[in-house]
Amino acid sequence: MTLGNRPGSGPRTALVVGNWKMNGDFAANGSLLEALRASIDADLLARVEVAVCPPYPYLAQAATALRDSGIALGAQDLAAYANGAYTGEVSAQMLADLGCRWAIVGHSERRTLLGETDATVVAKAGRALDAGLGVIVCVGETLEEREQGREREVLARQLDALAPLAAAEATDFVVAYEPVWAIGTGRTATPEQAQAMHAFIRERLASRGFAAAARLRLLYGGSVKAANAASLFAMADIDGGLIGGAALVAEEFAAIARSAALA
Ligand code: PGA
C-alpha cells in the first residue's frame, strides 16, 4: 500500500474485512468474536480499520459482542429497495439501525449463484450510501474470462456500472478485487497480478468521474491468509483485504490485520 507518497494519492488507511459467508452459530460466533476482541487491540486499530460481516441473524450478537471494541460491523448484502413489501429482504436502514458500518455488495457468489446483475449491484450500493453505510463493491473475473484474456473487459463493465456513485466519499466507497478463480480455492493471485488489476481499477474509476479515485481503498480478496497477506499488501494499490475462510480463525484474521497495518 502507498501511504500518500505519490503526488495526489493522499493517505489511504488500510482496511481488512472478514466475510463470514453462511457460516457460524451463536456458540462459535461467541468464541470467535471474543478472540477477535482480544487479539485486535486499540494499537492495531489505530493503524488499520477492521470490520467483520456475519450472516444477518447474527448481526445483533456481533454488535453486542463488539461494542466499544473499535472493530466495525458489516453486512454481506442488502436490499435494492428502501422498505416495504419485499419478503425476505433486509434494508440499508435496518443495517444502519443494527449498528452496521459497512455492506458488501456484488460478491461473486451472489453474482453467479443468485443472478445479481451490474444494475442490481449499483442499486444496492446506492441504497447503502444513502443510508450512511460504507459500501464494499466486489468485482472480478472468472477463470474462463481470464483464460480468454478478458479480465480487463469484465472489470471495465462491472466498474462502469458504478458511475452513478462517482461522487461517493473515499471513506465510504471501497472496491474489492476478487478474481473468482481465487475465491475459496487456495489459489491466490500473485501480488503482481493483483497489483496490475488494482491499478487498472483505480484508473478506470478516475476515468469514470470518481474524483476521489486516488484516495479510494482497493481491497484484494481470494484465498488471503496470514502467510500471503504481507506480500499482497506491500503492493502500491492494494489497500487491504476482503477475507473469507481465514476470517473464521481469529489468529489468522488478526495476523492479516497486523500485516495490513505494517504495509
Ligand atoms: P476466501 O474468500 O478468502 O475464502 O477465498 C474471499 C471472499 O469470497 O470474500
**Ligand 1 nearest atom to the CA of residue 246, by list position:** 3
pLDDT in tens, 81-101: 999 999 999 999 999 999 999
Q: How many domains does the chain divide into?
A: 1
State yes or no: is 198 an active-site residue: no
Whole domain around residue 57: which residue ranges? 15-262
Mutating to test ligand 1, I would choose from 104, 180, 183 the residue with most ligand atoms within 8 A of its C-beta, which is 183
CATH of the domain at 200: 3.20.20.70
8 pLDDT exceeds 60? no
- DSSP, residue by residue, 141-207: --HHHHHTT-HHHHHHHHHHTTGGGTT--TTTEEEEE--GGGTTSS-PPPHHHHHHHHHHHHHHHHH
pLDDT in tens, 107-143: 999 999 999 999 999 999 999 999 999 999 999 999 9
Looking at residue 6, its pLDDT comes to 41
174 pLDDT exceeds 60? yes
State yes or no: is 178 an active-site residue: yes
**Ligand 1 nearest atom to the CA of residue 245, by list position:** 4
216 pLDDT exceeds 80? yes
Any domain includes 232: yes
Any domain includes 240: yes
Looking at residue 5, its pLDDT comes to 39
Any domain includes 54: yes
Looking at residue 222, its pLDDT comes to 96
* Locus of grid cell 458511475: 163
Any domain includes 236: yes
Any domain includes 65: yes
Instruction: List the residue whose alpha carbon is closest to atom 1 of ligand 1.
Output: 244
245 C-alpha vs ligand 1 centroid, how far in Å?
6
Any domain includes 62: yes
Ligand 1, CB within 6 Å, residue ranges:
19, 178, 183-184, 221-224, 242-246
Any domain includes 8: no
Looking at residue 2, its pLDDT comes to 53
- CB distance 160 to 123 below 8 Å: no
Mutating to test ligand 1, I would choose from 178, 187, 225, 248 the residue with most ligand atoms within 8 A of its C-beta, which is 178
Gyration radius of the chain's alpha carbons = 17
41 pLDDT exceeds 90? yes
From the list 49, 107, 151, 198, the catalytic residue is 107
From the list 116, 178, 198, 252, the catalytic residue is 178
Any domain includes 2: no
Looking at residue 7, its pLDDT comes to 37
Q: How many alpha carbons lie under 13 Å from residue 86 in its C-beta half-sphere?
A: 10
